[in-house]
């Protein structure tokens, strides 16, 4: 099967296109002002002319104590809901005790039930998340934007397990997705960009190996001042998975 062109364009929802001018404005609008067409509030579509509607359909904030590597850590936890409960996300923000003008170090992490929760060895999601937590806690300002709806690069849990079965037959991750009629990568980063705008973080250092993630956030108005490599060591179970990322998906590994 020929190599597939990988795109971060979202295939399950209509893509909202913005001009460069509009994108630049995304991070400058105050909280509580709608700047994207198609945001739903209580199930009703909001038009571009409705400037009184909220940026999100619902939000919440608390302090979240977390046990990490044997120590207690406090995060500011921000939860967001966009069009529906299917499009929810969380941002965990950690600031050191010293004031700093340093750019936030940000990990935009795609949710992975098999990896993040059950520590599957078929992917590198769990070690990436743990490494991200370690680096974010060491930074003056660090953020994890966690996107549960990105499961399986956006194709969902059931389709991901179907693709795993195709990998058992010898296909790599790209061809396995295509063999079940799924896109190679169905993620979009609109909600992540909106969250960073809400957190007043228009410019960031991004923990990622994926150049398409950088490009997607920048198209949505977030300045990625630095792409920080975030590689993990391969294992016998995920070596081919990582090689496919590098060879067919242009990841910097």
HSE-CB of 208 using CA atoms within 13 angstroms: 24
Choosing from 107, 124, 187, 198, which is the catalytic residue?
A: 187
Q: How many angstroms separate the CA atoms of 232 and 123, rounded?
A: 10
pLDDT of residue 30: 33
pLDDT of residue 233: 87
More confident residue, 54 or 184: 184
Tell me whether residue 138 is exposed, middle or buried, using C-beta atoms within 10 angstroms of its C-beta: 0 to 12, 13 to 18, 19 or more: exposed
pLDDT interval class at 83 (50, 70, 90): confident
Q: Which residues contact 229 (CB under 8 A, 6 or more apart)?
A: 209, 252
The superfamily in CATH containing domain 75-151+189-248 is GTP cyclohydrolase II (3.40.50.10990)
- For 99-111, what is each residue's pLDDT tens digit? 678 899 999 999 9
pLDDT of residue 53: 61
Active site annotation includes 169: no
pLDDT of residue 99: 63
pLDDT of residue 7: 47
Say what percent of the chain tops pLDDT 70.
79
More confident residue, 24 or 161: 161
pLDDT interval class at 21 (50, 70, 90): very low
More confident residue, 32 or 102: 102
Q: Is the pLDDT of residue 65 over 80?
A: yes
- For 95-141, what is each residue's pLDDT tens digit? 987 767 889 999 999 999 999 999 999 999 999 999 999 999 999 99
Say what percent of the chain tops pLDDT 90.
66
Longest Cα separation, the chain? 54
pLDDT of residue 230: 87
More confident residue, 162 or 99: 162
- N-terminal to C-terminal alpha carbon distance within the chain: 24
The 3-state secondary structure of 175-240, one letter per residue: HHHHHCCCCCCCCCCHHHHHHHHHCCCCEEEEECCCHHHHHHHHHCCCEEEEEECCCCCCCCCCHH
Strand-pairing partners, residue 155, are: none
Active site annotation includes 101: no
Choosing from 124, 185, 188, 198, which is the catalytic residue?
A: 185
Please state the domain extents for the chain.
Answer: 75-151+189-248
- Residue 6 CB neighbours (<10 A): 17
- Both tokens of 92, joined, read 């965990």
């Amino acid at each position: 099967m020929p190599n597939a062109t990988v795109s971060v364009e979202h295939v399950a929802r209509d893509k909202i296109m913005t001009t460069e001018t509009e994108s630049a404005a995304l991070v400058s609008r105050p909280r509580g002002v709608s700047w994207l067409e198609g945001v739903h509030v209580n199930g009703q579509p909001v038009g571009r002319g409705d400037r009184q509607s909220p940026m999100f359909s619902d939000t919440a904030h608390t302090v979240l104590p977390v046990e990490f590597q044997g120590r207690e850590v406090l995060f500011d936890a921000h939860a967001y809901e966009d069009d529906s409960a299917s499009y929810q996300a969380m941002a965990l923000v950690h600031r050191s005790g010293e004031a700093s003008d340093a750019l936030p170090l940000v990990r935009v992490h795609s949710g992975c039930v098999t990896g993040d929760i059950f520590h599957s060895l078929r992917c590198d999601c769990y070690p990436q998340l743990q490494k991200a937590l370690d680096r974010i806690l060491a930074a003056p300002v660090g953020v994890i934007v966690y996107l549960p709806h990105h499961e399986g690069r956006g194709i969902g849990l059931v389709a991901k397990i179907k693709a795993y079965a195709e990998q058992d037959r010898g296909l790599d991750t790209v061809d396995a997705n295509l063999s079940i009629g799924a896109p190679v990568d169905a993620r979009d980063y609109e909600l992540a960009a909106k969250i960073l705008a809400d957190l007043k973080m228009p410019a960031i250092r991004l923990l990622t190996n994926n150049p398409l993630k950088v490009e997607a956030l920048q198209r949505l108005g977030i300045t990625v001042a630095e792409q920080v490599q975030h590689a993990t060591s391969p294992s016998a179970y995920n070596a081919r998975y990582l090689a496919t990322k590098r060879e067919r998906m242009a990841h910097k590994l």
